[in-house]
Amino acid sequence: MSVLGNIIWLIFGGLIAGLGYIIGGFLLCLTIIGIPFGLKAMRLGAATLTPFGKAVIPDERGDGCLPLVLNVIWILLFGWEIALAHLVSAALLTITIIGIPFAKQHIKLIPVAFAPFSYRLG
């Protein structure tokens, strides 16, 4: 089921979203300061490409002071917009019964998109 869900996900927007994260991550990596954010954006893009069959896992290195500071910067600059986009997409997908499994995947991506230094998909 997860393979079929991932294929349908990629056809109907997952590929564009994942590539957007990856391209944005590459652009962030052009600056020295943006490298940690770019790497997390690329990891988020890879997770967005195939979200079915994965679970949100708290990152074992996400409890320190540095991940907290990086999460705050991420939330202020990018995180809240990305999380809001996933929330709106989930709300639109729940209009139809067929879209509910895909809405669940958007809901699952919200914590990772909001605080990527504390969570990951695995």
Q: What is the pLDDT of residues 22-41, one digit of tens each?
A: 999 999 999 999 999 999 99
The residue ranges of every structural domain in the chain are 2-121
Mean pLDDT of 66-81: 92
pLDDT band at residue 61 under the 50/70/90 scheme: confident
Average of per-residue pLDDT values in the chain: 91
Q: How do residues 1-14 score in pLDDT, each as one tens digit?
A: 789 999 999 988 88
pLDDT score recorded for residue 14: 87
pLDDT score recorded for residue 121: 83
Q: Percentage of the chain surpassing pLDDT 70?
A: 99
Q: What is the DSSP string of the chain?
A: -HHHHHHHHIIIIIHHHHHHHHHHHHHHTTSSTTHHHHHHHHHHHHHHHS-TT--EEE-TTTTSHHHHHHHHHHIIIIIHHHHHHHHHHHHHHTTSSTTHHHHHHHHHHHHHHH-TTTEEE-
pLDDT score recorded for residue 74: 93
pLDDT band at residue 59 under the 50/70/90 scheme: confident
